[in-house]
Amino acid sequence: MAVDDCDDGRARQEELVRRITAALSTVGDDGVPEQLPAQLCRACVDVLPVTGGSVSIASPDRVVRATWYASDAIAAQLAEAQYTLGDGPCHSALAQAVPVLAPDLSSASDARRWPFFALQAVELGVHAVFSLPLGGLRPAGTLDLYRDAPGPLSGFDLEAALLARDALGYALFSLASARNWEPQGRVASWMDAAEADHDEVHQAIGMVMVQLGLDPRQALDRLRARAFTQGRAVTEVARDVVRRVVRLSDADDEDAPEQGDGGKRDGLDEER
């Protein structure tokens, strides 16, 4: 690494630390903790050599995920694609509780790990994704950063992104256990507010469970199968199920994408 590149990475890291500190210091004053994920994600996108990013949270069993903040439409579509497919770097990061780095989704190694997701991502103009789990051994969500060009993050930039991830994780657990932080007696927490966007998925899973005698994960797989064959988002299919526009049958999983093992390995997950 050239000296100039090293200095540039260090400068970005210092700037991101400054913005993280500033964001955390204002949460208790303005009474709007819901804004913190957006502030930290925007800081990463503004400071690091990435194109966009999103913050997602997951239910304890990881059956349902919700996008809390997306910096742009592509970041939102990327998060929804992973949720619909049940595959991608964020799923691997949640399952393994380690950062999952995909520096070139057009490469054979990354495409082999998540074939359907990699194809959709490249079609969206996304060529690199870096998914960082929020929390310890049982992550509560992910910070996902993407680039419109292939290439890894430098050591300094990855360290900076991990600092932002740690700040998000700390805030997530702190705010989830301090519901009285919210102004004027409102008791909805971060996670309650974000999961409200996916209530229809919860309801649809319950309906499919009753209709077909399935467990929650199998019911979600049926929703994903229908979404995959129709080229739609799983939240759209769930909405149709809840409104009784469609009723799933035993045939709905025949065309479901076959999921891989997510490239499981210990420690930092990156194809070398």
Question: In the structure, what pLDDT confidence band is assigned to residue 60 with cuts at 50, 70 and 90?
Answer: low
In the chain the first and final C-alpha atoms are separated, in Å, by: 18
Please give the angle made by the CA atoms of 26, 30 and 34, to the nearest 5 degrees: 85
pTM: 0.68
Cβ count near 171 (within 10 Å): 21
CATH superfamily, with its number, for domain 3-184: GAF domain (3.30.450.40)
Smallest Cα–Cα separation from 76: which of 248, 237, 252, 233? 233
Q: Are 146 and 78 in contact (CB under 8 A)?
A: yes
Residue 104 has what pLDDT?
Answer: 96
Percent of the chain whose predicted confidence (pLDDT) is above 70: 72
What are the residues whose beta carbons fall under 8 Å from the beta carbon of 186, sequence distance 6 or more? none
Q: Encode pLDDT of 158-209 as tens digits.
A: 988 998 888 888 777 666 555 444 433 332 344 454 444 456 776 777 788 8
Q: Are 265 and 228 in contact (CB under 8 A)?
A: no
List the Cα angle 92/158/161 in 5-degree steps: 80
How far, in Å, CA of 51 to CA of 107, rounded?
A: 19
Confidence of residue 68 (pLDDT cuts 50, 70, 90): confident
Over residues 85-124, the pLDDT tens digits come to 888 999 899 989 999 999 999 999 998 999 989 999 999 9
Higher pLDDT, 226 or 26: 226
What are the tens digits of pLDDT across the range 22-58? Answer: 777 665 555 456 677 788 888 889 999 999 999 988 7
- Name which of 36-50, 69-83, 155-169, 256-270 the model is least confident about: 256-270
| Separation in Å, CA 71 to CA 75, 97, 145, 264 | 6, 24, 10, 28
- Is the pLDDT reported for residue 258 higher than 60? no
Q: How confident is the model over 239-248, as a mean pLDDT?
A: 82
Q: Could you tell me the residue ranges of all domains in the chain?
A: 3-184, 195-253
SS3 readout for 218-256: HHHHHHHHHHHHHCCCHHHHHHHHHCCCCCCCHHHHCCC
How many CA atoms lie less than 13 Å away from 102 in the CB half-sphere? Answer: 33
Identify the pLDDT of residue 187. Answer: 29
- pLDDT the model gives residue 210: 81
